Amino acid sequence: MADTPPPPDDPQPAASEAQPAAAEAQHTSIADVGEFGLIGHMREVLGPVDDDTVLMGIADDAAVYRVRDGRVHVVTTDALVEGVHFDRTFAPMQHLGFKALSVNVSDVVAMNAAPRYATVTLGVPQNVSVEMLGALYGGLRQACRAYDVAVIGGDTVAAPSLTLSITVIGEASEDAVVYRRGAQPGDALVVTGDLGASYAGLKVLLDQRDRLQAEGEAFRPDFDRFSYCVRRHLAPPAQLQAIRDWAEAGVRPRALIDISDGLASEAHHVCEASGVGALVFGPSLPVHRETAAVAEHFDEGVDAYVLFGGEDYELLAALAPDDLAKLDSERVSVVGQVTPAEEGVRLRTPEGEEMPLRPGGFDHFSEG
Amino acid sequence: MADTPPPPDDPQPAASEAQPAAAEAQHTSIADVGEFGLIGHMREVLGPVDDDTVLMGIADDAAVYRVRDGRVHVVTTDALVEGVHFDRTFAPMQHLGFKALSVNVSDVVAMNAAPRYATVTLGVPQNVSVEMLGALYGGLRQACRAYDVAVIGGDTVAAPSLTLSITVIGEASEDAVVYRRGAQPGDALVVTGDLGASYAGLKVLLDQRDRLQAEGEAFRPDFDRFSYCVRRHLAPPAQLQAIRDWAEAGVRPRALIDISDGLASEAHHVCEASGVGALVFGPSLPVHRETAAVAEHFDEGVDAYVLFGGEDYELLAALAPDDLAKLDSERVSVVGQVTPAEEGVRLRTPEGEEMPLRPGGFDHFSEG
């Protein structure tokens, strides 16, 4: 034992902290701090990373470390928890398996890197059968094939609710990697695909469930109505092909992020990391006609879906003006421009007005 | 969307599988299959890994992939779930943070590799405070320093019970990596440290808790009595120094595994992977005097602690006979020898009898 690392020194203070009942212990609710606050707290306690192979730690879509001269790996990890990130009554197991890998691949893509390897940790409650896990693995396999990823490790543990915790390792040349921090005033802000569809799909599924439950019927997702939006919610694809196309066109974005928490939130992340502002052109935001139809069906404005609806997993990129012309204009939409920091993040409405655009992202810890 | 990977084809079959209530759907309980069965099922559904950089997939303590000529990374992932792997009433947060990294480092060490990077995913219930997480991060920091690991990524999500899912990436030269599969008849079986202490510590903690609860008192772990065993349970160290010493002595084990599920279970894993048998010398098994005292205190035989008690995180190695002399005999114990496959895994008792040794490992899914 002499040479093994020392276990924690003095257990007594920690022991008292393990006692939430002790009235004298301070108890700050995690809801007061939020997800980003907790991650910041962890970085603070752990201190700076002292390893010169690490080019980026916990401050972007994925961490980056050098594996040989000019070549880096990126690593990201994202968990989906039943009752928090999905509802098993309307997320089929196959889609869940696909989505859990997809959201991690999306983070790798957001570094302009290619996904390579994955590890999969499943927390499995008693009421999940082997057959249900088989369907989940099937969705995972589809995602592995779609993104050319090899699952090389995993852990399966008992848990009170279904949990999928996945880590994906990707690869890139060191000078191809794109961080959030490189946007410059004058850059064009572009997005792939369309926005708000995943949130629209969630609305449709929740509504279907509520109506069927009111009628006492078992719920089963209806893929025939608003099927584009429902699929985008249940099995969002990662935009791997977009970065391949851009590389082929000789375009390297100056900043890149995937849209997991809504466009407004991601624009704030890029602006904060880059020390810039942004002007988002409201009328130019790409919306699928079905997303618009869902919003109309629920008598809501589609703008909120597009700006704040999460889980689209499209990409937001800042491009040098010259690079814009190199891209297929059918594949990307120009949604704004990068401005000086002092202008903040603003939205230009169809009426030509400009107003501050708040992040408005979704925080699982503030749900109460 | 044309170029994005296709989401799952036909959602209908999966949708029906997402309905455990549907009487016609087959429902095989995961308890019937067990943890190893589930991992096997996943490997089967996913199919073989088709990537020539991958030297080892899901079949050892960690996966191995080549990052440049002669150099590999290893990756492993292990989760700790409240109520399954630990009880928050007697696992102080600081120890929990230390242990969660330690058990992953142990898997990297079991490949004869050095840990480098970690990602940390925390599932956090509402009744955990920011201060408790601060203590957990503190334990994580201690482990990072002890093992020279950089936390470079993470995710923090709401969850019904506290969950720590950690992935560790390590590094080694390709020819230094040791798998489970290399043991040969005639090899010596050695273990580091001593066995059964972690299980003894768990027994002490459970007993303390039950007695205090019977008296209506709040439980707080008592580190003064049987402190060696209690610490070994709450914050087991990984045996990184052992593999450093062996490398310095010019010893590369032929097979290596960490003892997470008990010596008997790990001996079976090595024998199965290597296609050999083993004879374990009962009287030679290393036991700390405090472990023996705990067993006596509970009027139990210490042999079961030593053979089947999990979570010691010592190493079990198969060494070529010539290599044995190169090691410090105070640091390792010879606990048996590798035999031909047809002899199976056997135990020699103090009386000189030989009997089959069953794995007897702990399976979280069979607890009911």
DSSP-derived pairing of the beta strands B150-158 and B114-124? parallel
- Partner-chain contact A7 B231, CB within 8 Å: yes
Closest CA to A314 of A191, A183, A229, A181: A191
Q: Please compute the mean of the pLDDT values over residues A316-327 and round it to a whole number.
A: 95
Looking up tokens 């082929």 gives A248
pLDDT band with cut points at 50, 70 and 90 for residue A5: very low
Q: Please choose, from the candidates B41, B33, B85, B28, the residue with its C-alpha nearest in 3D space to the C-alpha of residue B364.
A: B85
pLDDT at A205 over 50: yes
pLDDT at B32 over 90: no
CB nearest to A156's CB, from B5, B35, B220: B35
For residue B53 the two structure tokens come to 């950089």
Extract the tokens encoding A107.
């983070």
Residues of B in contact with A236 (CB under 8 A): 7
pLDDT in tens, B183-229: 999 999 999 999 999 999 999 999 988 887 788 777 777 778 899 99
Whole-number pLDDT of residue A179: 98
Q: What is the pLDDT of residue B9?
A: 53
Q: Which residue has the higher pLDDT, A6 or B28?
A: B28
Question: Given this model, what pLDDT does residue A124 score?
Answer: 95
Q: A6 falls in which pLDDT band (50, 70, 90)?
A: low
* Residues of chain B with C-beta less than 8 angstroms from the C-beta of A39: 154, 156
A342 Cα to chain B: minimum distance (Å): 31
pLDDT of residue B19: 40
CA distances from residue B343 to B59, B276, B283, B317, B318 in whole angstroms, order as listed: 23, 8, 20, 19, 17
Would you state the pLDDT for residue B59? 87
**Higher-confidence residue: A225 or B175?**
B175
- For residue A5, give the nearest of B88, B134, B237 by CB distance: B237
Give mean pLDDT, residues B291-313.
Answer: 95
In contact, B307 and B359? CB cutoff 8 Å: no
Minimum distance, in Å, between the CA of residue A194 and any CA atom of chain B: 9
The answer to whether B94 faces chain A, any CB pair under 8 Å, is yes
* Three-point CA angle B348, B354, B358, nearest 5°: 85
Taking contacts as CB-CB distances below 8 angstroms, the residues of chain B near A133 are: 30, 38, 41-42
| Order of all β-strands in the sheet with B71-81 | B54-56, B63-68, B71-81, B163-173, B114-124, B150-158
Contact between chains at A121 and B77 (C-beta distance less than 8 A): yes
Residue B351 vs residues A253, B282, B347, B354: alpha-carbon distances, Å: 73, 9, 11, 9
Distance from CA of A350 to the nearest CA of B (A): 26
pTM of the model: 0.91
Split at pLDDT 50, 70, 90, the class of B25 is: low
Question: pLDDT band at residue A25, thresholds of 50, 70 and 90?
Answer: low
Residue A225 pLDDT level (bands cut at 50, 70, 90): confident
pLDDT value at residue A88? 87
CA distances from B164 to A93, B76, B121, B351 (A): 23, 14, 6, 44
**B289 in contact with A at a CB cutoff of 8 Å?**
no
Q: Which one of A167, A221, A240 has the shortest CB-CB distance to B167?
A: A167
d(CA A117, CA B125): 30
pLDDT at A123 over 70: yes
| The two structure tokens encoding residue B30 | 């995961």
Q: How confident is the model at residue B292 (pLDDT cuts 50, 70, 90)?
A: very high
A193 and B CB contact within 8 Å: yes
| B88, pLDDT greater than 90 | no
Residue A318, C-beta contacts closer than 8 angstroms, at least 6 positions apart: A182, A183, A184, A187, A188, A189, A253, A254, A255, A256, A270, A274, A338
Chain mean pLDDT for chain B: 90
Residue A80 near residue A86 (C-beta atoms within 8 A): yes
Q: Tell me whether A326 touches chain B (CB under 8 Å).
A: no
B141 touches chain A (CB under 8 A): yes
| Cβ contacts of B291 within 8 Å, gap of 6 or more | B194, B195, B196, B197, B200, B228, B229, B302, B305, B306
Q: Does the pLDDT of residue A93 top 70, yes or no? A: yes
* ipTM for this model: 0.90
Q: Is the pLDDT of residue B3 over 60?
A: no
Smallest CA–CA separation between A174 and chain B, in Å? 14
What's the CA gap between B159 and A40, in Å, rounded? 19
CB within 8 Å: B67 and A63: no
3-state secondary structure of B149: coil
Q: Which residues in chain A are closer than 8 Å to B137, comparing Cβ atoms?
A: 41-42, 45-46
Instruction: Please name the amino acid found at residue B195.
Output: L
pLDDT, greater one: A218 or A149: A149
Provide mean pLDDT across the span B154-178. 96
**Cβ neighbours of A75 in B, within 8 Å:** 117, 119, 152-153, 167, 169
User: Best interface-test mutation with A: which of B24, B28, B45 has the largest number of A CBs within 10 A?
Assistant: B45
Tell me: pLDDT of A12 over 60: no
pLDDT in tens, B99-153: 999 999 999 999 999 999 999 999 999 999 999 999 999 999 999 999 999 999 9
A54, A94, A144: which to substitute to probe chain B, counting the most B Cβ within 10 Å?
A94
- Judged by a CB distance cut-off of 8 A, whether residue A150 touches chain B is yes
pLDDT, average across residues A229-239? 96
pLDDT tens profile A167-191: 999 999 999 999 999 999 999 999 9
Give residue A365's pLDDT. Answer: 56
Share the mean pLDDT of chain A. Answer: 90
Which residue does chain A place closest to B139, by CA atoms? A8
Model confidence over B167-184: pLDDT tens digits? 999 999 999 999 999 999
Here the tokens at position B55 are: 């030297």
Residue B11 clears pLDDT 80, i.e. is over it: no
Q: Does B223 touch chain A (CB under 8 A)?
A: yes
Q: What is the mean pLDDT of residues A314-336?
A: 94
Is the pLDDT assigned to residue B34 strictly greater than 50? yes
